[in-house]
Structure 1
Amino acid sequence: MSETPAAHGQYVQSLARGLSVIRAFDADHVSMTLSEVSRRTGLTRATARRFLLTLVELGYMRTDGRNFELTALVLALGYSYLSGQTLPQLAQPLLEDLSRKISESTSASILDGQEIVYVARIHTRRLMRVGIAVGTRFPAYATSMGRVLLAGLPEPALEQYLAEVHLEPLTERTVTDTAVLREEIRRIREAGWAVVDQELEAGLRSVAVPVRGPGGEVIAAINTSMQASLGAGGSTLEEAVAGVLPHLQQASATITAALEARS
């Protein structure tokens, strides 16, 4: 049986304790007092205080004198790993985390001609008649990720797409008017996100945001899909968007920052 690092003197207890303080903060414990950190980590108040103040001094944490919160600098701790990964490898664990937070299926895709191609996928339950996996293709015009990707095209490329695409009615809600689709894509450019309600398949709605490359260009999209009657955050379309959009935007920002760190 192999020895643990602690058993042969290679274990740095202070480092382990410092990391335990960072890990004590999560979505349910965004801001904590010294006593709360002490309780969650099992450290004494004096020890927890030293680590918290050290993290504040290094810029990984902020405090108002009573409550402590992590800063965005803590993300840099993971970028050394993330920056060496491909887009699907980057997206997969973040989509898994996103799926756990919102209890819905999540995906990432890229634009290939007139279609989107799934490059990562986490599913919580079967929502569509057609199964979705890495490599699955759908027409861009009828999907939230597709519309986000179309919104990221230069204007000449978008106009060429609109001139060539055949807008087939996949459901009774599918947009089949080029002028209407053009106007929706322009709205998405301004808003920075897209929602499609039962245009690809009846009973299915989805919300998507772009993923940008180091130069600011849209290189991919991520989304979450849900049943139209059971949308996360509520039953109406507005409530569904409000329930998932901030989480999608946070995941997208993390992927984008990792891509920038790799460049």
Structure 2
Amino acid sequence: MIDRSSPEFVEALARGISVLEAFDAADPEMTLADLSRKLDMPIATVRRNVLTLEALGFIRRHNKHFLLAPRILSLGSSYLNAFGVEEAVMPELQRLTSLFGDAANMAVLDGMNVLYVAHISESRGVRRTASLGVTYPAFATSMGRVLLASLPPDDANGYFMDFNPVKLTDYTVTEEADLRDILADVRVKGYSITVDQLDYGITAIAVPVKDATGRTVCAINSSGYTPRLTSEELLQQRLPELRLAANRISQLFSRMPALLHSLTPAIGTLK
């Protein structure tokens, strides 16, 4: 993978993508000046990018404010359709939610975060919830810890070089030494359980999904409301079903190599 210093790197394209990524729940609508400040980008550069994206239909304007247009969803749906994510993953996630209720998810490691690429839920709680395309800090999630535990040593050390955690609840583990110990335990056991790490009321158990060589490609989990879950239920009921689901998804990779190649992390690319 090339880096930003390579002559093959297209800076203009990177700037356009960063403009799209700047819109979020905190800033759904922004002026050019707002975007310039948020991205630390010259306002003239922001203007060219915004107007180009507006012409392509990915951004709309309301008075002097700009916001994402519905067409942005086509980028995500193209991914799902191209790689058959729903065909490969959703039946197993649906099976898990049918067995246990609550929610089931699949995620990959995306820099310092986990990125949710599949999600299904029967919950209607007011606590923080996952959805397709959402990212959360890897260190505070069950799937994130599974994926971090599977990293090659150099990538793991690279992760901790940039480790700057925020305590999300009173229980969130933020000390590097403690997290390294947790990841070592996850590596041995082959699963991760988190309780009130990401948000109060969220308990989850996750396992890795591997390819034919044994390399971890992604992770799946089953999560629910903390007061209703016990360690015994997670280990005796959910863990065997999660491992069955992971095995079935892994077997599908042989029939869907494009999906496997898309999900598989590149060595040395944790940024």
Band the TM-score falls in, shorter-chain normalisation: 0.5 to 0.7
Partner residue in 2 for 1:260: 254
Q: Is the 8 A contact 2:113 2:137 kept in 1?
A: yes
The residue number in structure 2 matching 1:220 is 218
Q: Which segment is superposed worse, 156-165 or 244-253? A: 156-165
Alignment partner of 1:240 is 2:240: no
- Normalising by structure 1, we get a TM-score of 0.63
Q: What is residue 37 of structure 1 aligned with on the other side?
A: none
2:249 maps to a residue whose letter is I
Q: Secondary structure at the match of 1:239?
A: helix
Aligned residues with identical type, % of pairs? 32
Deviations 1:45-92, CA, capped at 9 Å, x for gaps:
xxxxxxxxxxxxxxxxxxxxxxxxxxxxxxxxxxxxxxx963453111
Counting only pairs closer than 5 Å after superposition, residues 34-49 of structure 1 correspond to structure 2 as none
Q: Which residue of 1 aligns with 2:205?
A: 207
Output the amino acid matched with 1:101.
Answer: L
Write the distance in 2 (CA, Å) between the matches of 1:213 and 1:147: 18
Would you say the 8 A contact 2:101–2:123 is kept in 1?
no
Match of 2:136 in 1: 138
Aligned 8 A contact 1:128 1:201 in 2: no
Distance in 2, matches of 1:244 and 1:191, equals 15
Please list every run of 5 or more consecutive structure 2 residues that lacks an aligned counterpart in the other structure. 1-81, 258-271
Give TM-score scaled by structure 2 length: 0.61
Distance (whole Å) between structure 1 residues aligned to residue 141 and residue 126 of structure 2: 13
| 1:88–1:119 CA contact under 8 A, matched in 2 | no
Partners of 2:209 and 2:219 within 8 A in 1: yes
Q: Report the secondary structure of 2:119's partner residue.
A: strand
Report if aligned partners of 2:206, 2:220 keep a CA contact under 8 Å in 1. yes
Give 1:237 shift.
Answer: 2.4
| Matched positions, count | 176
Separation of aligned partners in 2, 1:87 and 1:180:
35
The DSSP-based 3-state class of the residue aligned with 2:221 is strand
CA displacement, residues 150-195 of structure 1 (integer Å, 9 cap, x when unaligned): 1111011011101211121100000011011011111111111000
Counterpart of 2:127 in structure 1: which amino acid?
R
How far, CA to CA, are the matches of 1:241 and 1:144 in structure 2? Answer: 14
Instruction: Check the 8 A contact 2:191/2:206 in 1, yes or no.
Output: yes
Specify the structure having the higher radius of gyration (Cα): 1
